[in-house]
Each structure stands twice: as C-alpha cells, then as structure tokens.
Chain A
Amino acid sequence: MIEVVYVEEAVRDHPRVQALLSRFREATVVSCRRYTEVFNPAAQNFRLQKRRPALILAHKHGAAVLEAPEHYGVGGRHNYYFSHMLNCVYDCRYCFLQGMYRSAHYVLFVNYEDFDQAIVDMLDGLAEGPAWFFSGYDCDSLAFEPVTRFVAQLLPLFEGRPEAFLELRTKSTQIRTLLRREPIPNVITAFSFTPAAVSRSLEHRVPALGKRISAMVRLQRAGWKVGLRLDPLIHCADFEAQYRQLFQQLFCSLDPDAVHSVSYGPFRLPRAYFKRMLRLYPAEPLFAGPLEHSAGRVSYGDGLEPEMMSFCREELERFVPAERLYPCVAPV
C-alpha cells in the first residue's frame, strides 16, 4: 500500500503519472523538484523506510542503458543493464540495495520511451550481436509490473529485434503480462532462488518457494524461456542438504532441457555496502557468519567460497549441461 507519492514537478502532467496517481487516490501527493532531493539525503534510514516505502515518480536523465559489470551475464558478448525503477518491493536481507541506497522509497522513472530509444540506439551502434539487456539490477523486473506496466510496453521492442536478448529477473509470481501474449524467443525470465529455509529466514515478503516454482512452470509450459539464478548462494547450517533439496525441487518441476541458463554465485558485497547493512541489522545472523574482509569486499573467502561453488556446480551438472551453467565469481 503506497501512502505517499512524491512527484517531480516536470512529470506532474505526464499521462503515466496521472494514471498512477488515479490508482493511489488515497495517497498524499508531494511535489518535488528532482527525485534526488527525496532519495539521496544522508539522514535517512533504509530499515525504517522499508516499513512504509513511498513511491517517487521521476524522469530518468542521462544514460538510460549502461554497460553491465564485468562477468554479469549468461554468455553474451555485449551486456547492458537498465533500471526503470530503483529499489524493490521485497526485503531480502542480503540485498546490496540496502547498502547502496540511503532510501527504501521506490523510484519509478516514467519516461519509458527513453529506455526503449536507448536500447535501440545501443543495438544500432553495434557492429555485431548478440546483445543482452538485463532488467532487474536495481529492482525486481516483474514484482511491481501490475502498477508500472513497464514490461508490457517493452516487450514489443524485443519482439521486433531478435538480435537482442532481454532478461527479466524476478522473485515474483507476477507473470500475467507474459502469459497474456505469445512467447518471445529472445526474452528470458530468470527466477532467483535460495533454499526454502533460507528464503523464509532472509527473503522477507517474497512469495513462497512453491508458488514461484509454479509460476516458472506455467511460463515454461506457455513456451516462454526461463532461467535460474542462484545468486547469492548463502552459507547455512546443512548447506549441502539444503541446496541439494532446492535443486531437486526445481528440476522435478521444470523441464531441465528447456531451462535456458543457470547462473550461480556466492554472497559477496563491497565492504562499504556491507558496513552500512551491518549498521542497519547488527543482529542479523547472515552478517555474523563466516565472512572474510579483503580487497574491499566481503565474502565467504578463499576457503568456503570455492567449496560452495564447486558443490553447486557438481550438483547442477546432474540436471543441466555445463554449457548452460554460468558461475558469477567476478569481483563486486
């Protein structure tokens, strides 16, 4: 439930803003000059704001599409990402957004067409493809879709550009936008998972594991390509049994041969983000775990991390051929 909507003065009359405001009639509407006035001040507490995040409607200035970080991808040569939204409706304790942003408010950039144009420009500037475009870096790609309708307007672009791939990354079950239309072969919906017990402990407000697997199965049966994202891998009591069970649950329900890609990577954070997250949640067991600090990053370290990665790889190879497995091990 959104109780406060901040609106940049410049987009106040934008039809999308008007439509969103009519959806949240009961909300207090507050005018601002730039979203950064609300979103960026230092004296804010992400944890407290997560109780009642506001919605900020803004115009995206500058580059709408950016090069993805190194090793972020599933085998593509050119990798880009874009964020029509900042922050996520879920509250996962391991999420780097808690360390990156001061505010937990949702920022929605309403100039969707500028994202479309930036993607087209990027594609037109490439000598050869294919190019991958990742949504869901700063937000969940589908969780807020019933409100934003961003993906619905984006899909036709990719339908007409088969040389470009779109990844929608999600923990949600909001798949109606996709099911309403014919599948598009170059659109991959990638679902993120941790074992059920870890999810219950750390992924607050996220739909139950079973519901997400069901959503994935429905998409797969409808002909949409789906992917699995096991990033971050979380160390926990009985790690191997937990992850083995998760893989069983996933591949018993899904058609493994039709899973587009599986990526997996250990929990890791820039040290500055980790410090902020620890200040927000000093009593969080995840942050008290066997983590090591080195070279500006916090991770499970040289001992545990390779063990976790190789265990998962071996287990995953029982279901999926190696060429569809993508480890995410790059520095953060």
Chain B
Amino acid sequence: MIHLVIALPAEARPLITHYRLQRRPGNSVFPIYAGAGIRLVVSGPGKLASAAAVGYLCAIGAGDPGGAVWLNVGVAGHRDHALGAGFLVHSIEERESGRRWYPPRVISVDCGSASLITVGAPETDYPEEGLYDMEGAGFYAMATRDASGELVQCYKVVSDNALAPAPRVDARQVEALIGGQMPAITGVVEALEALRRELPGSEAGRAALDGFLGRWRFSAAERHRLERLLDRHAALSPGRPLEPADFRFCRAGPEVLRALEARLAGLTGRAVEAGA
C-alpha cells in the first residue's frame, strides 16, 4: 500500500488527479482519498497535524497485507534554489528540538536531494542551507513507527526563496508547482513500491497462511509458530507451497503444527543444497 501524506489541498490536487483517487465517504478526522493501492491523506499544515494524519492512516491500513510505503509531498522554501525545483530529502532536522533523521536513500531516482529543516512557522529569511517546511519531521518520526526508513521519504518542491518569499505563494501556484513535478513524484512512488515488494512476507505467503487459519483454530502463539513453519517449508521447498488439504486428516491446530514439523524434519538435511 502506498500512503501519501500531504499538508494542503492545493498540494494534493495534482496527485488526486494523476492517481484518479476518490474521496472516501463519511466524516473522517482527515480527508482521505483512495484508489488502487494508494491512500492519500490531507493533514493540514504543521508537524503535529502531519504526524496525526500518519497515525490515522496507520489505523485505517492496519489490516493491509505486505506493509506500506510512505511519501510526504509538499512545497518548501529555500534561500537559493529556483522555484519549482524538486528534491528528495536526505536529512530532516526538527528546528525546535534539534533532532535529526536521515531517510536512507536506497531507491534510484533521477532527482536531486537536499536537507530539510522543519520549523513551526513559515520561514522567510532562510538562514541556513536547506529546505524549510512545517511537516517533514512530524511525518518522518511517525511514519518510521510503521515502516522501515528506506520506505519513508519526503519529496519537496521549492515554492519560495529569497527573491520570492513565502507569503506571496497562493494555492493555484502551489498546485502548479506540484503538478510540474509529477513525473519525478510518480518515479519516487514507483521506486518505493518496487522496493517494498522486495521485502519478505509476500501476498502469496499470506494467502497460504490464511488458508490454514480459515480451516483450523490457532492460539496467538500457535499462529506465530505456524507462520514460522510455513516460512521454513517455503525455504526448503520453494515452488511447492503447502495446502491445507495436505493436512485434511488433522482435527485441530496443534495437530497441524505437529504434522508440519514432522514433514519439515525430513527436509532439513537439504538446507543448503549444493549448487543452489
């Protein structure tokens, strides 16, 4: 699942249009737009709002298989960079606390990178080299509770600089600035999603587990054991997934686990196949 966290409606519109997202019905704490494999939340400005919106999406996506990637897209100020320039963020500093984060850059995308300073109010003096925003730190701190840092990134588009300071930017300009970076933004989204798919815990494995869970009852500890046993079987017999029907003579979960363990005992000698 791809989670996009956006502060302002104007920043969100190009993404909603591009991914053909539909607003979820009902009154929710934050407006949520959703489409195939994507959820977008409009958080409102500020790091607390951004962190809260991440938490809200986490709750909504709690049952999602395979985990999520997280991308914060928005505008930011920079002393020197040209308006409309886009950057993947390589470090985030929360100005108030001095805390720093370093989103690991594992994906290969054709865009520049920059440091980001998250401030409590719009910055018009740009005292340091770096992008200025109001959300990045809150977003990253919260999203990395759900996903590994490689899958949590910020993409910022310069909306103001020393020659064109923040108060002059209006919603239409913001929409145009984000819209102008859509090729790069979609590239980041695709790369992150491809990276997520490399993580273990495939949907096929999940389906196999669900088959067992649907047929027998397992306690929480037994379920954990079942997952490990299915993983081990998959490692030792790749391409030959187990089916619940293979254990049709078992009457209860613990009996399935014993049968599975017995089957694995006959396979472990092949753990590292010569020439594998």
Taking Cβ atoms with an 8 Å cutoff, the residues of A that contact B are 3-4, 6, 28, 30-33, 37-38, 41, 43-45, 47-49, 51-52, 54, 103, 105, 195, 197-198, 200-202, 234-238, 242, 279-290
Contact = CB atoms under 8 A, between A and B. Distances in A.
Nearest to A280: B200
A202 B273 CA distance: 10
Q: How large is the interface on B (under 10, 10 to 19, 20 to 34, 35 or more residues)?
A: 35 or more
26 contacts: A31-B91, A38-B102, A41-B101, A41-B102, A44-B149, A45-B151, A47-B198, A48-B106, A48-B150, A48-B151, A48-B198, A48-B199, A54-B104, A197-B275, A198-B274, A201-B276, A202-B272, A235-B272, A238-B274, A283-B231, A285-B272, A286-B272, A287-B235, A288-B264, A289-B268, A289-B272
Contacts, number: 129
B167 interface: no
Given A4-B90, A282-B235, A47 B199 contact: yes
B115 A30 contact: yes
B144 interface: yes
B273 A237 contact: yes
A28 B104 CA distance: 12
Contacts of B171: none
Considering the complex of A and B, which 10 residue pairs feature the smallest CB-CB distances, nearest first? A289-B271, A43-B144, A288-B235, A197-B274, A45-B148, A236-B272, A288-B232, A282-B231, A290-B268, A201-B276
Contacts of B236: 285, 288
Given A48-B150, A201-B272, A201-B273, A283 B102 contact: no
Interface in B100-114: 100-102, 104-106, 108, 113
Contact of B105 (A54, A287, A290): A54
Nearest to B276: A201
B145 interface: yes
A200 B272 CA distance: 11
Given A43-B147, A48-B148, A285-B235, A3 B272 contact: no
A283 B234 contact: yes
Contacts of B108: 52
Contact of A43 (B149, B232, B268): B149
